[in-house]
A and B are shown apart, each in its own frame.
Chain A
Amino acid sequence: MSEVNNQRRAFLKTSLGAAAVAIAPGMLLFDMAHGSTEPVSGKVRWGMLIDTNQCKPGCDECVTACNTENGLSGGKLPTDSQWIRKIEIKDISTGRQSSLPMMCQHCEHPPCVDVCPTAASFKRADGIVLVDKHRCIGCRYCMMACPYKARSFVHEPLHDQNPDVPRGKGTVESCTLCVHRIDEGLQPACATSCPNKAILFGDLNDPNSPIAQKLRTVASTQVRADLKLNTGIRYQGL
């Protein structure tokens, strides 16, 4: 009898050990994939100050960095996604020329969020405007509503996606402000890649942050400020 019991105990121990070994990595991966469960803080409002005086015409390091970070093809066809683009502008009356990057302006009152029928377009508590790829039905109304042409529609099936930046054929997408990097305490790829440090990223709500301090001391503008959308992206030197 006792021999039989020992065998049973040994079997149970081995089984439990094997189960633990099998489940543990899965649990670990689940935790890693799940990320932080803490909600983002509404006290923060992420934004950027772009110094157009430092932004060089012809330079598109920020565009390349964005494409690499987010797994975009970098194609320039009318059907290709462009989350950030360089715009060359020339004042018609004075002839003054500038160059600047244009992307989702992460408005406080985003028209894309207002018009989205399924609430797939949404604004995070920290001011980042995003698209829930599982909820977007691909109606493109947000693209019609965006005053900055900041959104792209995925026209083709996608391959080899970056796991941190899920995208989907038939859905709309735009600059996420590299939300996956921000959540890890990093800065957006465009800001870190700019060779002239023309893009200053930070918390607009923190009076001690470099961006808030600079906004207090230099003249800055919001693109289409007349629309009163209170954009998170500001421009200096326009």
Chain B
Amino acid sequence: MATLSALHTKNKLFYLLLALGGLMVLAGLYAVHMMEEHGHIISGMNNQIVWGLPHVFAIFLIVAASGVLNVASIGSVFGKTIYKARAPLASLLSVAMLAGGLTVLMLDLGRPDRIIVAATNFNITSVFAWNIVLYSGMFSLVAVYLWTMMEQCMNCWTKPAGFAVFAWRFILTTGTGLIFAFLLARQAYGSALLPPMFIVLSFAWGLAVFHVVQAVIYAWNEKVLDPTILQRKKNLLGIFVLGSLYMVATYHFTNLYFANRVEFEHFILFDGGLFPNLFWWGYVFFGNLIPLALIYLPGLGQTRCVMAASMAVVLGAFVFLYVFIIGGQAFPLSIFPGFEVSSTFADGQINEYHPSVYEFLVGIMGLAIAFMITTVSVRVLNFMPQDKHYIAD
């Protein structure tokens, strides 16, 4: 009876979680309706900060959606058993986060009703247009990959499908990095380092999300993850965090070397008010050093530590994107290098941005969509990793 009552409680909890997710989506849709009715004037975005909080959420979700597939790739492409068992869950998370991120991007458009225009008018020179193809291709490929994994008679196709997804996700994150890399005039962007940087960031962010979801699923099913498996996966997270820190450091160091970008680097790293604080404390300390300590310090590295480290990496990711996207636009565009400038259009001034609750709700909606897709799928289909007794590969 006790088991039955526990099942009832779990059932109720499932529907409660679903209702919460649904409410968040509804709140996001309300915000979209308000922006549609009144225009973007009710958001904090303006003619200087043209991309705001929704883009922070959307880009996090899209980059993490690509990164989480790393777990699947290590399984299918490199044949590591413990990762193979987790490939279906990783693929599901990827589809869920991609759906969430793209919904936010789409609904933040000035004219979301014209999405069919975006689908039918293709400008070949636009990296945005390439990304439309990359995102839809990713959906289809991951769906096929999932099918080959979950349908027994299709299992022989898992490896080629895994290879295709492996290649596609690299190209997709390259595409995301290129959105900024192609902005030649902005001091914050316009760097060929950005696509590889986004790829390495995606590894860390995707794996962190995977760890959090995996821990919740194991707890829900009252199972304990084999400590040896946890050990391997936590080490991988540590390497990815170190890798992303290295890429971010290289990006800033190269910028510091270019005379025309020194001023921007001083702004973002030292005297830009909120942004340096967010960068050093939020991203470097909280999003990198704390997780590294939790992973590598002797006596730490247990399940809870890995969970906390993963959550810190995710939070650090949001802070990083806020500094990168908003901070990059807050610094005045240099139209007349070597001149002091002033105008009625904020030339030469640090641009102000105060995000509104509507933007926040649109962004949160993306997370809620990813959450709902994952929760329902995990409930109705078998995404629970099935580990055999661990044997080193």
Contacts and interface: CB of A to CB of B under 8 A. Distances in A.
Interface of A: 76-82, 85-93, 102, 111, 113-120, 135-141, 143-149, 151-157, 168-172, 223-224, 227
B263 to A, nearest CB: 12
Given A147-B185, A170-B109, A223-B335, A117 B48 contact: no
B4 interface: no
Interface string B43-71: 00011101100000000000000000000
A76 to B, nearest CB: 5
A149 B123 contact: no
Contact of A147 (B115, B121, B333, B338): B333
Nearest to B124: A119
B223 interface: no
Interface string B333-354: 1011011111111110001100
Interface of B: 38-41, 46-48, 50-51, 109-112, 114-115, 117-118, 121-123, 125-129, 132, 179, 182-186, 329, 333, 335-336, 338-347, 351-352
Contact of B41 (A79, A82, A89, A223): A79
Contact of A88 (B118, B125, B183, B342): B342
Nearest to B48: A78
A114 B129 CA distance: 10
A76 B50 contact: no
Given A76-B344, A138-B114, A141-B128, 9 more contacts: A79-B47, A82-B345, A85-B347, A91-B339, A135-B114, A137-B115, A140-B110, A145-B184, A157-B38
A163 B347 CA distance: 31
B335 A140 contact: no
A79 to B, nearest CB: 5
A89 B339 contact: yes
B110 A149 contact: no
Given A78-B352, A224-B185, A139 B128 contact: yes
A111 to B, nearest CB: 7
A117 B125 CA distance: 8
A85 B47 CA distance: 13
